[in-house]
């Protein structure tokens, strides 16, 4: 099987050739033998990164760069569908001014950059994502209209039918061009005056007809102003609409997993430009792929993410299940909750554009989890995945103590105000059914804070309880500079409510701190590294300087420090902890000391001392 270097070399050479090339010319540029070339090409075709030329064409192209068929009008030309002299295809079938030389990912990013360039694109994600999402809705709606038109004679009758019975289509769009043969998107594309107001009204009209889209595509005002200045003026909005119009996103043009992958690519590009705030909506795909492989979701399972961001971890679980079980099996039932309204909308669009059925609630999971059963009980799931904001310090003992859902058992205690990391693990454990498995991404300090210190530590006490209850199956130490909100490495704590007998009383620790390649702006884990990490975690493989099974007694001797870096040294030289991690731990110790001092003074005050 070709390795990642070969795959990358092929894609890079193809991109340098204009995203399309004849096989002989590309093979010569790479300097490969035919067998090697054909094996790499076959792998990339299977992964849907590239497509073979149509018919007898001896060529290859990046997905999205292949030429589309342009149906002609009755007089043999493509009629204008926008009132501004820009070409538009008939019946929504032809992509106007098709971007033939770009992959879908390149096109979608170029469309985002059409507002003000790559530097500022992330600032406008709340405008860009709903518009690309709406373009997909429009093109799919056109496909459904065309299917009905084939049965009833023409699109005018098809429009009338779906207006009378919205159930004929997945999402009914109340957009009807004057010429019913024109694409539905042309209603938005033809806007020439007061464009921001017009786009806002059209998206709100779509949301009114589709309760599932309410609060998702209608929350942005494209006509909004700040201090009398338009946030996105009509000229830039017009450029964005025109850029989005350049590629068709219908059912036959782009499969759900391809447009979904491109949508996730766009979210990642926004994360790269969003700095610290990126962690609120994006988890690196390597972490998601490792988690989804290790948890091994099965068809029909219920998967939950209590702080789902843009929904990436849930999507990764569905992809992992389909890769293992194949298409045509029962899909996963996906559930999530997200606190930030804009990110909640992003997650819903992500689920729909991937053609997944999901239920994403909005609200504060910690204080008001939405997925409940009767009798004051949490709903439980087969798998729970999460990447909560690290080291949240706004939850107090009162918040934990007032919980009525049994998430924070008395024997475990509360993790304290300094960091809610173990509070999230407690919520996740309570959300697992009797055979459930979970994975949560956390700051590395969550594995070690408090261990080795004199006296008690609230976080360590909770961690000790989880070890003694045998709920932790494995801990993975990730490479540094992987996450978008920090350069520090993270950890993944894997939970299992029903560990196999041979794994009980033991933990697998994996130190993958050296499994990465340098990237810009962030490091990344190559495909071979992802497979190596996932295989070690699935099969409990022990490897020198990489993974080790540790008995519970040894963990106790180390004061319940469960950090892989404590037990697995990746080099012969001394292993040093990141300075930022040490500083955070010192801050936590100082905060605990201040809290203990305050409590002692309060007690002495009551005694009159």
Q: Which domains are delineated in the chain?
A: 4-62 (1.10.10.10), 90-260 (1.20.1260.30), 274-578 (3.40.50.150)
pLDDT digits (tens, 9 = 90+) for 77-128: 333 334 333 334 445 444 333 333 347 788 888 888 888 765 667 778 888 8
Residue 93 has a pLDDT of 44
Find the mean pLDDT for residues 257-285: 73
Question: What DSSP designation does 524 have?
Answer: B
Find the mean pLDDT for residues 40-56: 70
Q: What is the chain's mean pLDDT, rounded?
A: 84
pLDDT digits (tens, 9 = 90+) for 221-239: 999 999 999 999 999 999 9
Residue 74 has a pLDDT of 31
CA dihedral 503, 504, 506, 509 (to 10 degrees): 50
Gap between the Cα atoms of 279 and 343, Å rounded: 11
Residue 38 has a pLDDT of 85
Residue 117 has a pLDDT of 67
Backbone angles phi, psi at 146, to 5 degrees: -65, -40
Q: Which residue has the higher pLDDT, 47 or 293?
A: 293
Q: Residue 571's pLDDT band (boundaries 50, 70, 90)?
A: low
Residue 563 has a pLDDT of 95
Q: What does the H/E/C string look like for 574-609?
A: CCCCCHHHHHHHHHHHHHHHHHHHHHHHHHHHHCCC
In degrees, to the nearest 5, what angle opens at C-alpha 141 toward C-alphas 311 and 224? 60
H helices present in 391-526, as ranges: 397-401, 421-430, 458-468
Residue in the structure block whose two tokens are 């404590």:
566
Contact 320, 393 (CB under 8 A): no
Q: Residue 510's pLDDT band (boundaries 50, 70, 90)?
A: very high
Q: Residue 579's pLDDT band (boundaries 50, 70, 90)?
A: low
Residue 279 pLDDT > 80: no
Find the mean pLDDT for residues 293-316: 95
Residue 486 has a pLDDT of 81
Question: What DSSP designation does 434 have?
Answer: E
Gap between the Cα atoms of 192 and 139, Å rounded: 21
pLDDT digits (tens, 9 = 90+) for 50-63: 777 644 447 888 76
Residue 253 has a pLDDT of 86
């Amino acid at each position: 099987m070709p390795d990642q270097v070969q795959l990358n070399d092929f894609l890079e050479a193809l991109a340098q050739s204009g995203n399309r090339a004849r096989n002989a010319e590309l093979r010569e540029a790479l300097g490969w033998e035919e067998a090697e070339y054909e094996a790499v090409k076959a792998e990339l075709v299977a992964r849907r990164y590239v497509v073979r030329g149509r018919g007898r064409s001896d060529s290859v192209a990046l997905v999205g760069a292949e030429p589309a068929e342009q149906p002609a009008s009755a007089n043999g030309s493509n009629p204008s569908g926008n009132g501004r002299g820009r070409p538009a295809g008939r019946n929504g079938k032809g992509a106007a001014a098709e971007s033939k030389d770009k992959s879908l990912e390149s096109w979608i990013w170029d469309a985002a950059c059409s507002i003000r360039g790559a530097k500022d694109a992330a600032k406008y994600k709340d405008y860009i994502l709903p518009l690309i999402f709406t373009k997909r809705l429009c093109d799919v709606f056109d496909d459904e209209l065309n299917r009905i038109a084939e049965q009833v004679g023409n699109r005018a009758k098809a429009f009338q039918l779906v207006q009378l019975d919205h159930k004929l289509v997945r999402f009914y769009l109340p957009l009807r061009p004057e010429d019913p043969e024109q694409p539905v998107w042309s209603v938005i594309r033809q806007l020439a005056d007061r464009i921001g107001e017009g786009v806002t009204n059209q998206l709100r009209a779509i949301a009114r007809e589709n309760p599932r889209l309410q609060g998702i595509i209608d929350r942005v005002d494209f006509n909004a102003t700040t201090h009398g200045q338009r946030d996105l003026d009509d000229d830039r909005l017009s450029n964005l609409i025109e850029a989005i119009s350049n590629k068709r996103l219908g059912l036959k043009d782009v499969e759900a997993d391809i447009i979904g992958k491109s949508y996730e690519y766009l979210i990642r590009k926004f994360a790269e430009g969003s700095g610290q705030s990126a962690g609120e909506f994006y988890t690196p795909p390597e972490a998601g792929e490792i988690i989804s492989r290790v948890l091994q979701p099965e068809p029909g399972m219920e998967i939950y993410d209590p702080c789902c961001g843009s929904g990436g971890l849930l999507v990764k679980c569905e992809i992992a299940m389909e890769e293992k079980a194949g298409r045509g099996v029962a899909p996963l039932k996906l559930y999530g909750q997200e606190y930030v309204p804009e990110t909640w909308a992003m997650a819903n669009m992500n689920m729909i554009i991937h053609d997944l059925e999901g239920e994403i609630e909005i609200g504060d999971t910690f204080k008001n989890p939405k997925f409940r059963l009767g009798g004051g009980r949490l709903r439980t799931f087969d798998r729970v995945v999460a990447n909560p904001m690290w080291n949240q310090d706004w939850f107090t003992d009162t918040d934990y103590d007032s919980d009525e859902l049994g998430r924070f058992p008395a024997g475990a205690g509360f993790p304290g105000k300094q960091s809610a990391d173990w509070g999230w693990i407690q919520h996740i454990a309570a959300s697992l059914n009797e055979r459930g498995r979970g994975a949560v991404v956390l700051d590395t300090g969550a594995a070690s804070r408090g261990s080795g210190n004199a006296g008690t530590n609230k976080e360590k006490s909770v961690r000790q309880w989880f070890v003694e209850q045998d709920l932790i199956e494995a801990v993975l130490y990730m490479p540094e500079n992987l996450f978008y909100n920090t350069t520090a490495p993270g950890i993944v704590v894997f939970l299992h409510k029903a560990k196999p007998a041979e794994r009980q009383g033991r933990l697998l620790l994996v130190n993958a701190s050296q499994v990465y390649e340098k990237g810009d702006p962030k490091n990344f884990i190559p495909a071979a590294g992802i497979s190596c990490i996932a295989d070690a975690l699935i099969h409990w493989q022990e490897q020198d300087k990489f993974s080790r099974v540790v008995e519970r007694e040894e963990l106790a001797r180390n004061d319940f420090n469960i950090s892989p870096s404590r037990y697995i040294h990746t080099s012969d030289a001394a292993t040093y902890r990141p300075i930022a991690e040490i500083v955070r731990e010192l801050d936590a110790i100082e905060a605990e000391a201040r809290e203990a001092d305050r409590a002692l003074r309060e007690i002495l005050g009551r005694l009159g001392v």
